[in-house]
């Protein structure tokens, strides 16, 4: 029977499942090792996959429960094309299946958060209720308001040992403010981060394949989106902003300036650079390295400050930033340890609540593992890893 075509599959659901993950007929054909016209026949109803083929489609290709393909019609899900309007249309069309899956996982985490916490965010006064950003108001005042809310002073920031600690501290502060921060190693290296705004459970997702300083900047770029009450998906190459319509371009520029202002407050930057002598371009490596360490940001972020003040040319900035980017290499500080990596990927507030529910016997081990997106056999080892300190 497993070699016979499956009866009861809805062809339109097969097509929807493929398109919802951004795959072409040719993509599926290669994975299934079948002709593309056979995949097309499954989708128009003139043929149907066998049970073995359907299992492979469901679990390996589309990452969907098998039962979905017997639904009378496709599920109603939001699409990246409607979720992330600030990204150019061409870039939206180029999203990889892996990116679709991570966005889908983020949506699943939001549903899980609703199930775990009920109707309300566990933080009584989350940051997006206390602070609403406006492009018309003073950027310096708004960024300072956020720093005060997060309770991170410049003195504390300067004492952080390295980029790793800086990311831990900023991430922890944002989570205490009611936003859930997840990470993953995106296969689509051009994506740095995205966020899903929500009245109760907003999520920020960082690309763990980028440097720690880039993740810190991305964290605050996406926080700006959340405080503007909108979703966002951001690319590493800022030149994509130039392709945007005027309104969307202004939003992305504002989010970048907001992130820079939170991390490198203008008044302090003026004080730190007042005594600088000589040409900034000539001494950019030494100057930017010193200031990057003070603020826990990248050299490029510091250099951008000088560009905004008109002390370096755009040409110099672009060349230097590209040179530094070529020097950077991803530090695999997770060391290939699966459980340490999963710990780093999960929102601390979210994972703590899952474990607390399990300890109180409100959910089973299998249910807890499903929330955490791991196999039940991995639960005990992850539990042990989660009990050790704050993750990055």
Q: What is the pLDDT of residues 13-43, one digit of tens each?
A: 999 999 888 889 999 999 999 999 999 999 9
Q: In degrees to the nearest 10, what's the CA dihedral of 109, 110, 111, 116?
A: 80
**Could you tell me which of 257, 94, 109 has the C-alpha nearest to residue 189?**
94
- Residue 121, pLDDT > 90, answer yes
CA distances from 298 to 82, 174, 228, 330 (A): 32, 20, 25, 14
| Choice among 122-136, 264-278, 331-345 with the minimum mean pLDDT | 331-345
- Residue 138, pLDDT > 70, answer yes
For the chain, the helix, strand and coil percentages under 3-state DSSP, each to the nearest 5: 60, 5, 35
CATH number of 11-77: 1.10.260.40
CA angle at 287 for the pair 284 and 309, rounded to the nearest 5°: 70
Phi, psi dihedrals of residue 363, rounded to the nearest 5°? -140, 155
Give me the pLDDT at residue 76, please: 78
Please report which confidence band the pLDDT of residue 390 belongs to, taking 50, 70 and 90 as the band edges: very low
Residue 156 near residue 99, CB atoms below 8 Å? no
Output the average pLDDT for the chain.
89
Domain locations along the chain? 11-77, 89-263, 266-316, 338-386
Report the Cα 74 to chain-centroid distance in Å.
26
Give the mean model confidence (pLDDT) for residues 237-250. Answer: 84
In 299-325, which positions are buried (b, 16+ CB within 10 angstroms) versus exposed (e)?
Answer: bbbbbbbbbeeebbeeebbeebbeebe
Report the Cα 272 to chain-centroid distance in Å.
32
Q: pTM of the predicted model, to two decimals?
A: 0.84
- Residue 332, pLDDT > 60, answer no
């Amino acid at each position: 029977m497993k070699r016979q075509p499956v009866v009861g599959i809805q062809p339109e659901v097969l097509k929807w499942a493929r398109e919802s993950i951004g795959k072409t007929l040719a993509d599926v054909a290669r994975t299934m090792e079948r002709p593309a016209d056979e995949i097309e026949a499954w989708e128009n109803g003139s043929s149907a996959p066998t049970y073995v083929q359907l299992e492979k489609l469901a679990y390996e290709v589309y990452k969907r429960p098998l039962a979905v393909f017997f639904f009378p019609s496709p599920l109603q899900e939001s699409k990246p094309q409607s979720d992330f309007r600030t990204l150019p249309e061409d870039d939206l069309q180029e999203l990889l299946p892996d990116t679709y899956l991570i966005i889908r996982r983020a949506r699943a985490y939001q549903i899980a958060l609703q199930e775990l916490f009920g109707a309300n965010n566990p933080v009584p006064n989350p940051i997006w209720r206390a602070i609403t950003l406006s492009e018309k108001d003073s950027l310096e005042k708004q960024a300072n308001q956020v720093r005060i809310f997060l309770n991170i002073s410049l003195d504390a920031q300067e004492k952080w040992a390295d980029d790793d600690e800086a990311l831990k501290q900023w991430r922890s502060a944002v989570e205490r403010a009611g936003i859930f921060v997840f990470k993953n190693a995106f296969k689509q290296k051009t994506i740095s981060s995205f966020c899903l705004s929500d009245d109760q459970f907003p999520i920020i997702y960082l690309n763990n394949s980028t440097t720690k300083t880039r993740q810190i900047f991305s964290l605050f770029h996406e926080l700006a989106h959340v405080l503007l009450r909108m979703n966002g998906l951001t690319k590493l190459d800022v030149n994509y902003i130039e392709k945007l319509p005027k309104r969307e371009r202004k939003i992305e520029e504002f989010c970048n300036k907001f992130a820079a202002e939170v991390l490198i407050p203008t008044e302090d930057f003026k004080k730190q650079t007042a005594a600088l002598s000589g040409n900034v371009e000539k001494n950019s490596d030494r100057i930017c390295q010193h200031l990057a360490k003070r603020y826990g940001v990248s050299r490029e972020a510091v250099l951008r400050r000088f560009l905004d003040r008109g002390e370096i040319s755009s040409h110099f900035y672009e060349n230097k930033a590209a040179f530094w980017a070529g020097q950077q290499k991803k530090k695999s500080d997770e060391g290939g340890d699966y459980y340490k990596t999963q710990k780093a990927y999960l929102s601390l507030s979210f994972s703590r609540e899952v474990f607390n529910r399990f300890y109180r016997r409100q959910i089973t081990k299998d249910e807890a593992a499903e929330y955490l997106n791991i196999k039940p056999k991995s639960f005990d080892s992850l539990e042990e890893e989660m009990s050790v300190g704050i993750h990055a």
